[in-house]
Structure 1
Amino acid sequence: MKVLIVPGYGGSGPEHWQSRWQALHPDCIRVEQADWDAPDLEDWIARLDAAVAAAGPDTLIAAHSLGCLLVAHWAVRSPRAIAGALLVAVPDPAGSEFPAAAAGFGPAPSGRLPFAATVVASRDDPYAAWPFSERIATDWGAKLVDAGERGHLNADSDLGDWAEGWQMLNQTGRPDGLLGVAQVALFARYNAQMNAKLYSAAAQLSADELARDRGAFFGSLLGTLNHLIVGDTLWLQRFASHPGAHAAALAPVLALPKPASLAEIVCADFATLALRRQLLDEAISAWAAVLTSRELAEVFHYTSMTSGPGRKHLGDVLLHFFNHQTHHRGQATTLLSQAGIDVGATDLLLLVPNLD
């Protein structure tokens, strides 16, 4: 994977971590500008765009200072894709120390970046107060890393080869290890198969037995199955609002009414409930098939009915999504057992192939 080195105002000298990376790693390519001391936004964007075009969509960007603002402006204008960006010491164009020669780079773009990004900020950066760093990371949908008090994270910060930064760069665009695309596909398949077993078992009960209050959190088996429909619908509609080509797979779910409460009975009869369950499971499977590792690593903003606003990696939220299903399917299985119906084996390991 190629890495584009994007320096800021004045370029990066030989002791700068960007220059050290370029010397250490053959895949690092510096984006050269015509004049490092007289930055011209349009010219710098054109040169970055040409470099990305030559490097290809699997490219990572490692930008510093003004180079970070350049990347953000480029992202607004260019349709080209990259794998992700490490944005180090983003300067505040409204700050008192911001160079007058770079005034054309302000204000900083405020929209979400169309790729996974990590912002690394120092608590005592003379070019960016910490609240600005927090805000810009949120605006850009980026992960924020607190580097402590390290100045402008340049050659004067004594970072040396900055192995920690290199590791952060290589983790950008990848999940933090909780969930990968293979696990998402496995959980989607498990979800569909277990729901099919659950509904096959529940179909043996009469309407009265399905609606009978058995003391569960949502009362009856019908109430529990409806809660699963409600939870999945709410989360899938939130996922569909996250930008990316993957959202098209969730279009059928967006057409559904948004549930008003977690205990809502969205389908009062079992036949309609089963059809709704099938629609959701098909959407989940289709969505899981097109999700990428880069998308799982992106920052996902949402508002929960119970916990309010949240900001987490999409992959981490998906882990909750699938765990929530399993939790309430366990409750439903218990209710069926109380009614004298055995659902059968429900272990996830049944879907995991043995090693050769």
Structure 2
Amino acid sequence: MTSRTPHRIVLVHGYGATPQDHWFPWLSRLGTPVDAPALPDPTAPRAEEWISRAAAAIGRTDARTVVVTHSLGGITALQALARLLRDGRAREPLAGFLAVAPFVDPLPAVGDPQLDAFPDRGLGRFLEGFAPEAIRELLGPVTVLRSDDDAIVPAAHSDRTAEALRAETVIVPGAGHFLAEDGVRELPALGARLGTLLGG
């Protein structure tokens, strides 16, 4: 890599979302190119398809690449990076890994029939075989952003993820699950961390 190679952000969205939802369009306005693949069937995610698509989007790991994830996108990206490492396509650490409302454990029911059906039927394959210690050095600096009132991913789940990844934790008060319906269309705490990682 030369110093002239621009930074890039790879965004991996979560369950039920597209790259046009929530705070994701705002991320593109920060001035760094964003590759945000639309993951297939977001309300019925299949692990193999999501992980393969995320691995293709990341494509390489180097000190000019930051991976940003939301919710289910966190474990998806981590599994994608593990696959890239196994395949010999991941050789250098990332500039950073920023996970918003992540989890690496089964989720509790939240009382929404459609949302609760996915953990029962499909989430296990996303979590299967994940070994954080195997990829930790590939991630570069890791930051976990969580809210103090997330009704979908409990704070304890994001905290366990942060512990497993030896991550810095940033708590954003009152942000819920960082959805547009929670009022989150911009995420300054994430922007500040990106500015540090990207030298801005």
Q: Is the Cα–Cα contact under 8 Å of residues 4 and 29 in structure 1 kept in the other structure?
A: yes
Q: Which structure would you say has the larger RCO, counting Cα contacts within 8 Å and 6 or more residues apart?
A: 2
Higher helix share: 1
Structure 1 partner of 2:150: 125
The residue identity in structure 2 corresponding to 1:86 is: L
Would you identify which runs of 4 or more consecutive aligned residues in structure 1 move more than 4 Å? Answer: 54-57
Q: Which deviations, in whole Å up to 9, do the C-alpha atoms of 1:91-124 show, x marking residues without a partner?
A: 4523223643342223583524231211101122
- Residue 96 of structure 1: aligned partner: 109
Aligned to 1:109: 130
Scaled by the length of structure 2, the TM-score of the pair is 0.74
State yes or no: 1:64 paired with 2:70.
yes
Q: CA 1:44–1:28 in 2, change beyond 3 Å: closer, same or farther?
A: same
Root mean square deviation, CA, Å: 2.6
Structure 2 unmatched runs, 5+: 1-6
TM-score (norm 1): 0.44
Q: Secondary structure at the match of 1:78?
A: helix
Is this contact kept in 1: 2:51–2:79, CA < 8 A?
yes
Q: Write the distance in 2 (CA, Å) between the matches of 1:156 and 1:108.
A: 33
How many Å separate the matches in 2 of 1:75 and 1:55?
Answer: 8
Percentage identity across aligned positions? 26
Aligned AA (2:184): L
Is the CA contact 2:172–2:189 (under 8 Å) kept in the aligned structure 1? Answer: no
Q: What runs of 5+ residues in structure 1 fail to find an aligned partner? A: 175-356
User: For residues 52-76 of structure 1, what are the alpha-carbon distances to aligned partners after superposition, in whole Å with 9 as ceiling and x for unaligned?
Assistant: 1268652111110110111122232
* Matched positions, count: 174
Match of 1:338 in 2: none
Higher-Rg structure is: 1
Q: Is the 8 A contact 1:16 1:160 kept in 2?
A: yes
Say which of 182, 186, 200 aligns to 1:157: 182
Q: Which amino acid aligns with 2:102?
A: V
